[in-house]
Amino acid sequence: MAPALIETTSVPTYVGTNTKDDKNKSQSTSNVHVVQYAPGRTHVVDHEFYEHEDLRPSFPDFSWEPLTELPYHDRGIHGHPQFSNLLAGATDVFDYNPKIGTEVHGVNLAKLTNAQKDDLARLISIRGVVFFRDQADLDIDSQRELGRYFGKLHKHATTSVPSRPGLEDVHVVYTDEKSKDQRAKFTPTFLWHSDVTYELQPPSYTLLKVLTGPPRGGGGDTLWASQYAVYDALSAPMQKYLEGLTALHSAKMQAEGSRAAGRPVRRDPIVTEHPLVRTHPVTGWKSVFFNPGFVTEIVGVPKVESNAIISYLNEVITTTPELHVRFQWQKNDAAFWDNRVCNHSASYGFAPHRRHAVRVASQAERPVFDPMGKSQEDEYNIQYGLPKVNKDGSGTSNYND
């Protein structure tokens, strides 16, 4: 746990006099506001009377048919280039860094017009993930309604859904003081993933709202990585090489884990082949489409080469700081990201706090690679008059920071 502030009253405080030296001090007790600092400790909320009981996780034993291909039209194509509808009433908007992450204030996600929703889709497709604070009006019904505007909501085959019936297209994230710490079961790179990329049409716009979480400084942050920026971090020869490859994304391990835990698998697990580089339908930018959590094989190359590519992309995605953004959640905050061009990872270390969130995800197009696609970095360098990035790795380093 992280540092905390503990507030007290009626405690001894030292009050200085008007003398020139510091010898003349008196100790007095008064009702003043005093802050005591306790490193590594934050207040733990008592959830005896919990307001979101109906959204606690459950694992109903349903059986669903395999997903079939659906027509998809990206609403971001209709968004205003300057997002003028969405941002008309915004009180603040700022980027976390040049590659990924934007925070918008003064916008109520529960009350968007269709034109604002189109702008939102366009903004997310460009920035990867967009954050909105204090979305108290966005209840689960309005969250689902907003998600459905962008496409059919995905129903997960293995993870928990709310205990309230009829919300099977909502994914529940839930950890409390009774949950086991599982960090030792995974490597840090494996925890990075994009959601259900083994599906024929993996999700695009994905909306997560935190209902209850650790207080400020208590942990539980989420990190995202831009796969536009992953593509741009590669050399031109490596980009060209990966553009000709595909990867297998498998649901089998996730299904096996659910069965081992005694939980249902509502749809048979599948393995799907997707291009390793895809082109976004709104931006026209190329991005790596790689998932540390689900990619098991690079197709058409020797096993040792496949393993090397997987290891290499794992390292680029998880260890390149400039393509990351980290968000510190507070109650009722929402994050809206494009699952096609982002990986994300939760962070551990927030016990014994409860962390409860609900997510909806809209099915998107089947991933495609268009060789006429562009580079985000190259386009911005031209637009803003920035120098072309040198990727040859030669010369002597003189890094000073």
Catalytic residue numbers, as ranges? 193, 195, 344, 359
The torsion angles phi and psi of 82, rounded to 5 degrees, stand at -105, 10
- CA distances to 43, 156, 195, 337 from 307, in Å: 45, 28, 22, 29
The torsion angles phi and psi of 137, rounded to 5 degrees, stand at -75, -15
* Cross-sheet strand order for the sheet of 295-298: 271-275, 246-250, 295-298
**Helix or strand run (H / E) with residue 6:** strand 4-8
Q: How far apart are CA 271 and CA 266, in angstroms?
A: 16
Beta-bridge partner residues of 344: 193, 224
Beta-bridge partner residues of 295: 249
Q: How far apart are CA 274 and CA 285, in angstroms?
A: 17
Written as one letter, the residue type at 92 is: D
Measured from the Cβ of residue 206, the count of other Cβ atoms closer than 10 Å reads: 28
